Structure 1
Amino acid sequence: MKKSVFLLVTFAAIAMLAFAAPASAGGGLKAGLTMSTFTGSDADLIGVDPEYRMGFAVGGYINHPLSPTLSFQPEVYYAMKGAKYEDGGESLTFKFTYLQIPLLLKMQPAGSNFFFCGGPDVGINLSAKVEAEAEGISAEEDLDEIKSLDFGLTFGAGVAMEKFSLEARYTIGLTSFDDTTDPDDVKNSGLMFLIGMGL
């Protein structure tokens, strides 16, 4: 129920933002590869360090110019997150999906194709599963004690070529996603490599 409310509020906010966009605002689509992992003092959940879990992200953005070199760029993505643990032929893979909402300031120096961005990143958890595999046998189950909201900071850089762009980003988690009564310090963090197309 909470997730449904969060989704409705998010889509309503995005719709209002789009309709309120000034004539000078632009927008587009982005998609790419995600490499997610866990960070924090308790990230070694089973006694080994987490590895990256590969996934994808797809979404869109609206760009509001603030000055000739600075703009505000809210975005929304469907993004895969999580992490993978391997030890002695056994593996444990955490499979999370989020509605990701970065709220970025974008700076592009005058006359340059290169740009830089950064800002807060809010995630709404859509699903959380864990898959265990040993001796060729695997089993998957849902995780219930995962926080609905996730907060982080995103930083990135890229190059713009007319209507297209290429960029790399890193998001560092600020809050633990563990929603148990005695939560571990474990956060979502990771890399994102995106291709963008302006509309």
Structure 2
Amino acid sequence: MKKLFLGLGLVAGTFAFAQTSPSFGLKAGLNISSISDDGYEDSKSKAGFYGGVFMNAPLSEQFSIQPEVLYSQMGAKTTESVNGNVFGGTYTSKTSNSVNLDYITVPVMFQFHATPNFYLEAGPEFGFLVGAKAKGDTTTTTTIGDTTTTSSESGTLDIKDQTSKFNMGAGLGLGFNFTPNFGINARYVAGFTDISKQSNGEDGTTSTSNDNNKNRNNTFQVGLSYKF
């Protein structure tokens, strides 16, 4: 709860520093997310969506601060293949897993306007988990003599109880405003916190749900914005 108040406090504090009336807008776009290598050595990026609202408060002619509230889909994909022999034949089993993490994020970006239309930005991002699921699809192909059979199965597992409820990172990006109302933005957000939930063992030691590996969200975002 204290972390939520911290994020909301930074948003509210921007009004005190604004030199002129702030403007409000909508933004949405594409997430290309991944999870750091610890415990997910074979992970690959997955595509997702982000969208929400923002407020832009000018601090001077060249500087402004932009807090946002976004719904953001993160996670990663993994693929595993197993080959073997069975009943005088061979089999190949391929499993594709997708870790889907949904957050409400509160980025607070400090922007430097190099020109009236082009800006650079950097700042912290606070994320609050709203959903976490792991989906797996397995396809098995078996060949015995001249006969080949293929079977498949899939399943979804809720992993919210094994995932940390809070995520924090730092964003670095740039943007270009085509008009006073429409613009494009690209941003990379590097995670600082472990997404695996910590737990205390009977011996008093602290561990995570992923064998003490540190797994962090990393996300590249690109999208459009509309300012009222």
What is the alpha-carbon distance in structure 2 between the residues aligned to residue 72 and residue 22 of structure 1? 11
Which of 62, 78, 81 matches 1:85?
Answer: 78
Superposition deviation, residue 168 in structure 1: 1.0
Report the counterpart of residue 222 of structure 2 in structure 1: 193
Report the counterpart of residue 113 of structure 1 in structure 2: 117
Q: Percent identity?
A: 27
Letter paired with 1:109:
A
Give unpaired runs (5+ residues) of structure 2: 82-93, 140-151, 200-206
Quick check: 1:138 aligned with 2:154?
Answer: yes
Partners of 2:63 and 2:110 within 8 A in 1: yes
Q: Which has the larger radius of gyration?
A: 2
Report the counterpart of residue 91 of structure 2 in structure 1: none
Letter paired with 1:61:
F
> Normalised by the size of structure 1, how large is the TM-score?
0.86
Superposition deviation, residue 57 in structure 1: 0.5
| C-alpha RMSD of the superposition | 2.4
What is the alpha-carbon distance in structure 2 between the residues aligned to residue 154 and residue 82 of structure 1? 17
Judging changes above 3 Å, is the alpha-carbon distance between structure 1 residues 15 and 151 closer, same or farther for their aligned structure 2 residues?
Answer: closer
- How many residues were matched structurally? 190
Superposition deviation, residue 167 in structure 1: 1.3
Structure-to-structure mapping, 1:2-41, within 5 angstroms? 24-41=21-38
Which of 53, 72, 82 matches 2:65?
Answer: 72
Which consecutive aligned stretches of 4+ in structure 1 deviate over 4 angstroms post-superposition? 9-23
Partners of 1:43 and 1:185 within 8 A in 2: no
Give unpaired runs (5+ residues) of structure 1: none
Partners of 2:102 and 2:130 within 8 A in 1: yes
Judging changes above 3 Å, is the alpha-carbon distance between structure 1 residues 14 and 192 closer, same or farther for their aligned structure 2 residues?
Answer: same
Deviations 1:152-177 (A, max 9, x none): 01111121111111111111010111
**Aligned with 2:44: secondary structure?**
coil
Report the counterpart of residue 197 of structure 2 in structure 1: 179
> Normalised by the size of structure 2, how large is the TM-score?
0.75
